[in-house]
Amino acid sequence: MQDNILSMSSITKAYRMGNEEQIVLKQIDLQVRKGDFLAVLGPSGSGKSTLMNIIGCLDSPSSGNYMLSNQQINELNEKELAAIRNKEIGFVFQQFQLLPRLSALQNVELPLVYAGINEKERKQKATEMLSRVGLEDKIQNRPNQLSGGQQQRVAIARAMVTEPTILLADEPTGALDQKTGQQIMELFQQINREGKTIVMITHDREIAKTANRIVHILDGQLREEAAYV
């Protein structure tokens, strides 16, 4: 379909361990449309982290075809992949990955620094994004002055500040209590309603149910649970 912004066909990933080959992903077919909120649901060892790394251009498939925003990802070199990661993908991690000595504002600014945006513009963009996630009064706080939920909101703001094509979230509520996790998922739903495409990796079925689509991954194979809603 024309509005697919991510398309994978026959993706496999294998690792050589001594004389044996371990196949982690087996003939993965996956399409993500603009505006999707997709959850990839699977237990530990299912291959979901490997799939996330390939979606995020942190790893390359052994075979198959991966298209992202009409670009053939398989054919890119490491420098080109780094540019794709900075421009097309916003990462949200389970453990937030904030730099402890920087303020919330400075943490959100970081991707813009790497993108070569001037100081005035990046401060303005970072401030606007922190306001969007409800932290306009916390921009000068360092991570240790913020709750876990607030730190994850900073991480979401940082992921979104470059206006990426896809927001890629890895177990985004894994380090949070249940109530705070629900608040973060409500924020993701709001961001998705505003038009952002989200791909979320999770082992938690209740968290996965907040997405519009669920695909299950087990033993390196995908199956779709629900049609578009």
pLDDT at position 3 over 90: no
In the prediction, which pLDDT does 228 show?
Answer: 42
Place of tokens 């994978």: 8
Q: Note the pLDDT tens digit of each residue in 26-38.
A: 999 999 999 999 9
Query: Average pLDDT, whole number, for the chain?
Result: 91
Query: Considering only CA atoms, which of 223, 170, 213, 218 is closest in space to residue 45?
Result: 218
Q: Note the pLDDT tens digit of each residue in 157-174.
A: 999 999 999 999 999 998
Burial class (CB in 10 A: 0-12, 13-18, 19+), 44: exposed
Model confidence band, residue 17 (pLDDT cutoffs 50, 70, 90): confident
In the prediction, which pLDDT does 1 show?
Answer: 45
Model confidence band, residue 2 (pLDDT cutoffs 50, 70, 90): low
| Cα distance between residue 137 and residue 148, in whole Å | 16
| Cα distance between residue 73 and residue 53, in whole Å | 13
In the prediction, which pLDDT does 86 show?
Answer: 84
Note the pTM of the prediction, 2 decimals.
Answer: 0.91
Between vectors from CA 58 to CA 53 and to CA 61, what angle results, nearest 5°? Answer: 70
Burial 130-155 (b: 16+ CB within 10 A, else e): bebbebeebbebbbeebebbbbbbbb
| H or E element at residue 16 | strand 4-17
Domains identified in the chain and CATH numbers: 4-224 (3.40.50.300)
Q: How far is CA 161 from the centre of its chain?
A: 13
